Amino acid sequence: MLFHFHLETRATPAQVLTAFTDFSDQRLTTWRRTLDPAKYRLVEQGDTWAVAREGSAGTAIWVQLRYEWPDSRHIHWDLLDSDHCDAGTGDIDIHGLPDGGSRLECAVDHHDPRGLRGSAILLGQRLIGPVAFPRLWRSALDAYADSHH
């Protein structure tokens, strides 16, 4: 189910890129409100890509994504596996703001649900995602900017 959202953050475009593409242990600190350490596992990584298994704390939901960042202004992911759907993609376009912060234009399209549970999860993401994702991501990115200035 496709949904779009945008957000603005104090993080510079370079900080946004680093926050999303750092697959070291720092990832668990940066995304501590959205990433469950028990579900997180880096599968493999190259210079401009990574495959990671991730899930949110407090849920039984997990995904395995292949992230790619072909340049400093775009992050893309393909869903390789999950417990609730069979296909999906995501895109984040990063735009610098005059004050040094960033505006992110985001699209998430996870689809082909696995059964009734998968349909319910995707419907929930479609309804709640456009509000929850920007709030959670802005909070994480602003905190990242504050700690990496």
| Tens-digit pLDDT string for the chain (149 aa) | 789 999 999 999 999 999 999 999 999 999 999 999 999 999 999 999 999 999 988 888 999 999 999 999 999 999 999 999 999 999 999 999 999 999 999 999 999 999 999 999 999 999 999 999 999 999 999 999 999 87
The encoded tokens of residue 95 equal 């735009």
**In whole angstroms, what is the distance from residue 1 CA to residue 118 CA?**
11
pLDDT on residue 2? 87
pLDDT on residue 140? 97
Domain count, the chain: 1
Kindly report the number of other CB atoms within 10 A of residue 48's CB atom.
Answer: 11
Can you give the residue range of the structural domain that contains 130? 2-147
pLDDT on residue 114? 95
CATH code for position 118: 3.30.530.20
pTM for the full predicted model? 0.95
CA dihedral for 135, 121, 44, 78, sign (positive or negative): negative
pLDDT digits (tens, 9 = 90+) for 38-76: 999 999 999 999 999 999 888 889 999 999 999 999 999
The encoded tokens of residue 141 equal 């990115």
**In whole angstroms, what is the distance from residue 86 CA to residue 34 CA?**
22
